[in-house]
A and B are shown apart, each in its own frame.
Chain A
Amino acid sequence: MKTVSARLWNRLSSINLTVALCLLLTMDLVWGYFCLNRRTALFTPLNDLGLIPWAQTYGSHNLLATGWFFLLLTLLALLAVNTFTCTTSRVAQLLRAKGPGGWQRLALRLAPHVMHYGLIVILAGYLCSYLFTQVLTSSTLTPGSHLSLPGSGSQVQLLAVEPEYYQGERLAFWKNEVIALRARLLLSDNTGQREAILSCNRPVRFQGYSLHLIDFAPKSLNGMKMKTRIDLHVRKDPGVALYLAGMALFSLGLILYFYQWIVHREAHR
């Protein structure tokens, strides 16, 4: 039994499998580009519905256009297993044969493995995100109106929208258009109230939800007068922390790897 599991572990941790998977992923994603380019509308609901409901509806009923995506998921799962087994084997070897140079040298030698673990954490974060995210799409607020956050007994109220119009000459096409927008929100829960500023690339986090500004009106001083409003995407995404941690881990490994490369090059001069 032990030999079977050891053999399976060795097969799964093979570098040849990594190469094959990377090549298959490359080809699959190129195929995906052409499918996505032709049938973009099929994939747009993926972020709002989550993976399972999307796969049961859009995904399974349009397999010619979505087949590449299911293959992508399978290949990524295999890659995650391959990366984990391969990296763990190498890390175990490194830890057993620590050799001279102490912890600093060991940390540098672990750099590529830190990147590999980072990749696994990123993939786990994405999976978590696509499986468990709660989304409230197209929540529109006008000044004074409220939005209730489900399951938290909390409310978000839009206090005011503060647009800044472009008045310069350089961006002729942007004259009198909104160049920056600040939406003042009042966030209320059982513990009290606080104000927060929401803008285009600055979401507001509240009660585990993140509020993102998707659209707003009016966009211009000229043209049709529209009622002041902001459109929000409200998401409760448990995968965010994981994929951000994965990115940080991958970046740390990359920095260590380059540091080691420079040190190694200097030593060989």
Chain B
Amino acid sequence: MSMITSHTAFQFAAVLYALALAAALAPGKRSLPVNLPLAAAIGCNLLAVGLRCHQAWPMLPMHLGPVALPLCLGLFYPLAARNCEPSQRRPAQRILLAVIVLLTALALCFPKDFYLPFLKSKTLLAHGFLWFGVVGKACFILSAVWAANALLPCQPSHAISAMGRSHRWAALGFSLWTASMFSGELWSYLGWGTPVVWEDPALTLTMAAWFFYGCLLHLHLTRSWSQTHRALYASLGGLVMLTLTCLPDLGPFRIPFGL
């Protein structure tokens, strides 16, 4: 019996996300051509993540982040632009879909899903470390999307509202990122006796992102930089920082739809 694999499901999701982006970029204001492929893409992505978890549970599937991140962003899509005017909503949704397509392309071209899970990951703290981190990163991306939206030519009130949304997503992301770091530190202490395991270089990027967003929150709260500078920091800086945090989860190049 031939069964659908996690990789195939993710390939379907990638194609459907790309279709949703194409529909969002096309002229016209109907939302069905975007929402339909997007819902199907989320379904396929959910299947891909579910299969990977099923194949590893109770241990942690290795390098699940690049596959789970587009799913989180897809699930956040209806929330991302809730209660805002259409002139703000459409650019934000377009940027978000473009980021999702970029992330799925990265995950397909540079997969690192060939590692087997390991016994020490059989703890809720390990799962907390992964999922808090993934959802936190999705919030950071939404913060960057809204900051990019504030940079687009628009009325000043729109820019202020966009930056307010960017700040809220950054604050939520920072809390989840902190929860992820604490889960990881506790797991590391229980498993290896120390909260920082220096064998894993990814920890430095996790800490870098924490300081980057800690700085962003201070900038928002103190207003010590102009709004444009804060928007540039949160959008361009955020995307560079988040791309860097994806590096440890990316493997060697593979043709994305190769047999």
Q: Which residues of A contact B (CB under 8 A)?
A: 15-16, 18-19, 22-23, 25-27, 29-30, 32-33, 36-37, 40, 43-44, 46-47, 126, 129, 170-171, 173, 178-181, 200-203, 210, 212, 214, 233, 235, 237, 240, 243, 247, 250-251, 254, 258, 261
Q: Is the CB of A47 within 8 A of B207?
A: no
CA distance A243 to B219 in the complex (A): 27
Q: Is the CB of B116 within 8 A of A25?
A: no
Q: Show 8 A/B contacts (Cβ-Cβ < 8 Å), sorted by A.
A: A25-B207, A29-B204, A43-B198, A47-B193, A201-B120, A212-B190, A240-B189, A247-B182
CA distance A29 to B120 in the complex (A): 26
Chain B: minimal CB distance from A210 (Å): 6
Query: Is B227 an interface position by the 8 A CB rule?
Result: no
Query: Is B12 an interface position by the 8 A CB rule?
Result: no
Chain B at the A interface: SS class = helix
Q: Is the CB of A212 within 8 A of B215?
A: no
Q: Is the CB of A170 within 8 A of B54?
A: yes
Q: Is the CB of B191 within 8 A of A30?
A: no
- Name, among B178, B201, B224, the residue most crowded by chain A CB atoms within 10 Å (CB to CB): B201
Q: Mark B117-128, 1 if CB is under 8 A from A, else 0.
A: 001101101000
Known contacts A25-B211, A26-B241; A201 and B201 CB within 8 A of each other: no
Q: Is the CB of A179 within 8 A of B204?
A: no
Q: Mark B168-197, 1 if CB is under 8 A from A, else 0.
A: 000100010011001001110111111111
Q: How many residues of B contact A (CB 8 A)?
A: 46
Q: Is the CB of A200 within 8 A of B198?
A: no
CA distance A31 to B178 in the complex (A): 21
Known contacts A16-B224, A210-B193; A22 and B198 CB within 8 A of each other: no
Chain A at the B interface: SS class = helix
Query: Is B56 an interface position by the 8 A CB rule?
Result: yes
Q: Mark B236-256, 1 if CB is under 8 A from A, else 0.
A: 000001001001000000000
Interface residues of B in 195-225 (CB under 8 A from A): 195-199, 201-202, 204-205, 207-209, 211-212, 214-215, 218-219, 222, 224
CA distance A261 to B185 in the complex (A): 27
5 nearest interchain CB pairs?
Answer: A22-B215, A29-B208, A36-B201, A43-B198, A212-B193
CA distance A202 to B195 in the complex (A): 14
Q: Is the CB of B198 within 8 A of A47?
A: yes
Chain B: minimal CB distance from A18 (Å): 6
Known contacts A179-B119, A201-B191, A250-B178; A170 and B215 CB within 8 A of each other: no
Q: Which residue of A lies closest to B185 (CB)?
A: A247
